[in-house]
Amino acid sequence: MRTQGYRGVIGAMPEIILSIAQRKAHRADAHHLDPVVAVGGDGLTEGVIKEADHALNAHGLSKERVHGDDRDAREAIYAELADKLNAARIQHIGKLLVFWRPMPEKERVLDEDRKPGPKQVKVLKYSKRGGQRPEVRHLRVLGNERLTAGGKVRKAKPKQKSVKKRNLD
């Protein structure tokens, strides 16, 4: 009993169906992965589903191992896990199952007090003779440093305040 065309539905979220080329690319990406979730003799427990969901959220691609000799039971677990996780079924070989789901967007917290980090700067020093290539140096300039016209890194001078602002302090 093969379940290639099966589309399970939980609530309003159908299982993700990928094209053959997309599945092939994800199979290649999953080749080097080790199984991160093991489904034991108890079958699909809440802990197994939670760990598989966590692995998909963290990596987008997850490989599970089912400890059991019954192929029909493994295929049922494969279909049920794909439905519960709203993930695409990528591969089922023996006792290994591979699932994929797009990774959720991570929310970035902007800190208003954060200062700019180091900048990577490329400095070109041209030769006095015209036919040679310029010497290229990659420098890292920190927030309290500046780059001189000659290509050297110096400590930044404190910003000068106006006379009116100095009198306020």
Task: Give me the mean pLDDT over the 32-36 stretch.
Answer: 91
CA distance 15 to 92: 16
- Total domain count, the chain: 2
Q: How far is CA 35 from the centre of its chain?
A: 18
pLDDT at residue 26 in the model: 93
Percent above pLDDT 70 for the chain: 91
88-143 per-position pLDDT tens digit: 999 999 999 999 999 888 888 877 787 778 889 898 888 888 788 888 999 898 87
Residues 47 and 74 grouped into a single domain: yes
Task: Give me the mean pLDDT over the 50-57 stretch.
Answer: 92
Q: Residue 68 belongs to what domain range?
A: 9-100
121: CB partners within 8 A, 6+ apart: 138, 139, 140, 141, 147
Residues 137 and 77 grouped into a single domain: no
The band of 13, judged by pLDDT with boundaries at 50, 70 and 90, is: low
pLDDT at residue 7 in the model: 38
Report whether pLDDT(12) > 60: no
112 assigned to some structural domain: no
Residues 31 and 84 grouped into a single domain: yes
38 assigned to some structural domain: yes
CA distance 157 to 63: 55
Report whether pLDDT(87) > 80: yes
169 assigned to some structural domain: no
Token digits of residue 58: 């963290």
DSSP 78-109: HHHHHHHHT-EEEEEETTEEEEE-PPPPPPPP
Residues 56 and 138 grouped into a single domain: no
164 assigned to some structural domain: no
168 assigned to some structural domain: no
74 assigned to some structural domain: yes
pLDDT at residue 43 in the model: 85
Residues 73 and 17 grouped into a single domain: yes
**Between 73 and 108, the higher pLDDT residue:** 73
